[in-house]
Amino acid sequence: MLYSDPKLLCRFLSLCGGNWHNTIYVTCGNCLYDNPCRQSDFLFLPDKKGTPVCLRAEDALVIFPERPEASECLFSLTIRQFRNMYKAYFEQLPEGMCPVQWSVKTLTDTLYNW
C-alpha cells in the first residue's frame, strides 16, 4: 500500500529518473516527532526550485524492486543535516511535527493548487 500522493510519486520518480540510486538517502534513526512513519528514513531530491521532494521508506519499498540502501544512493544525510540544509524552508514547521511529513503535505498541497 502506498502512502504518498500519486502526483508526488510522479514528481519524485521524474526527478530521479525512476532510479533510487539517483537520490539522497536521509537517515532518521529513532523518531522523536509526533505520528512517526512506519519505516524510518527517506529518499529525497530537490526540485528545480530547491524544494525537497521526499519519498518515505515505506513507499520506496513498494515502488522499487529492491530496498534502497544509503551506501548506494548519491550520498546520505542524517535528519539533523537535512533540517540544517533546509533551515529556512522549515521555519514554518509546526512544533513537534516531522519535517518529512510536513514537507510531503506542503508539496502535495501545492500540486493541487489549481
Cα 96 to the center of its chain, rounded Å: 17
The answer to whether residue 31 sits within a structural domain is: yes
- Percent of the chain scored above 70 by pLDDT? 96
Q: Which domain holds residue 91?
A: 6-107
pLDDT of residue 114: 65
The answer to whether residue 85 sits within a structural domain is: yes
The answer to whether residue 114 sits within a structural domain is: no
The three cell numbers of residue 99 are 519535517
Q: Cα–Cα distances in Å, from 23 out to 15, 32, 113?
A: 9, 24, 26
> What's 66's DSSP letter?
S
Neighbours of 47 (CB within 10 A): 14
> Taking a C-beta distance cutoff of 8 angstroms, is the pair 61, 38 a contact?
no
| Structural domains in the chain (count) | 1
Angle (CA) 65 14 94, round 5°: 95
The answer to whether residue 36 sits within a structural domain is: yes
Q: Cα–Cα distances in Å, from 46 out to 8, 31, 49, 95, 114?
A: 13, 23, 7, 24, 22
Residue range 73-91, pLDDT digits in tens? 999 999 999 999 999 999 9
The answer to whether residue 102 sits within a structural domain is: yes
More confident residue, 38 or 62: 62
One-letter amino acid at 75 equals F
The answer to whether residue 1 sits within a structural domain is: no
Q: How confident is the model at residue 38 (pLDDT cuts 50, 70, 90)?
A: low
The answer to whether residue 46 sits within a structural domain is: yes
Q: Cα–Cα distances in Å, from 75 out to 82, 83, 105?
A: 12, 16, 24
The answer to whether residue 113 sits within a structural domain is: no
